[in-house]
Amino acid sequence: MGNAASIVVDWGTTSLRAALVGNDGEELDSLETPQGISSLGKGDHEAALMTALDPWFSAHGALPVVALGMITSRNGWVEIPYVPCPAGPAELARGTVRMVLPNGSELVLLPGLTDPARQPFPDVMRGEETQVVGYGLDRDATVIIPGTHSKWAKVKAGRIDGFQTFVTGEIFALLLNHSFIARGATQPPINDPQAYRWGLEEAKNCGAMLSLLFSARTGGLAGKLSADQLRSYVHGMVIGQEFRQARESGWYSSGDEATIVGNDGLNDLYVIAAGVFGLGIVMGADDVLTRGAMDVLRHTLS
């Protein structure tokens, strides 16, 4: 490895992911550790970061580090205030906090983003805004970031104009692990594409989610839904409700186009869901987070 210029750290609740970035913005190497913020106590963050990045510091010297995600939340290392929408890299850059690590490396902590117009309370995100910036703000677009808390963001006039969170992944996990709705699903989990699409279609046709979810139970009792199908059927229903509610909230109409960025293992499922709901999809690049972090960093220097 040569020409290393910086390090980008995506530090979330359950893991620390980092990319070694070259002079031209390309990712030269990557690493991941299980030391997310939930596993660290107060005062442990600096040592954890130095240990994780030590091989790169030893090989390339005191590279600057850009860190983002939940590490800058109330439960992280340093709480950094959210930057309000509309915002682009320049606004995000003005919200950064700088520190110096023990080896002399400069650490730049990126802020999150808030949408003060969202009701009943302002919406928030940390890390996903960097992915949207990395995707590009040069044209108006709707950007979808699948995840435990999925985000739908609107790019307008060169900035992130607003966004909305859907707790789809968290609801799915709760239903699967802590409810009677999906109890009885085959273990280890089986992914059934037809059952997933079945769940999507049911969600498309019915907006009464609290009633619809009970069909996962009654389908089994009626002998229409097998244990092998159950998990995928429920997954289709909750992701389908996200797309239905996003449409009803004005994020798209049938025949529109949106872009999916990020890679949380859900992209393919979201592409299928979009097709069921008549939404065209363009896939973003894999390195949007690194691109976005470097773009914000450049604006801190201008």
DSSP state of 202: H
SS3 247: helix
- pLDDT recorded at residue 184: 83
Per DSSP, the three-state class of 21 is strand
Q: What pLDDT, on a 0 to 100 scale, did the predictor assign at position 300? A: 87
Q: Rg for the chain (alpha carbons), in Å?
A: 21
Both structure tokens of 275: 């097709």
- Return the pLDDT at 186: 86
DSSP string, 6-34: EEEEEE-SS-EEEEEEETTS-EEEEEEES
Please state, for a pLDDT cut of 90, what percent of the chain lies above it: 91
pLDDT at 1 over 60: no
Domains of the chain: 4-137+288-301 (3.30.420.300), 166-283 (3.30.420.310)
Question: Tell me: the pLDDT tens digits for 32-82?
Answer: 999 999 999 999 999 999 999 999 999 999 999 999 999 999 999 999 999
Residues with Cβ within 8 Å of residue 223, at least 6 apart in sequence: none
Are the C-beta atoms of residues 264 and 147 closer than 8 Å to each other?
Answer: yes
Rounded to whole angstroms, how far apart are CA atoms 263 and 261? 7
Q: Is the pLDDT confidence value at 264 over 80? A: no
If pLDDT is split at 50, 70 and 90, which confidence band does 2 have?
low
- Structure confidence at residue 196 as a pLDDT band (50, 70, 90): very high
Q: What is the pLDDT of residue 188?
A: 86
For 216-254, the pLDDT digits (tens) are 999 999 999 999 999 999 999 999 999 999 999 999 999
Could you identify the residue written with the tokens 């970035």? Answer: 21
Does the predicted TM-score (pTM) go above 0.85? Answer: yes
Decide if 263 contacts 134 (C-beta within 8 A): no
Alpha-carbon gap, residue 130 to 132, rounded angstroms = 5
* 262 band by pLDDT with thresholds 50, 70 and 90: confident
Mean pLDDT of the chain: 95
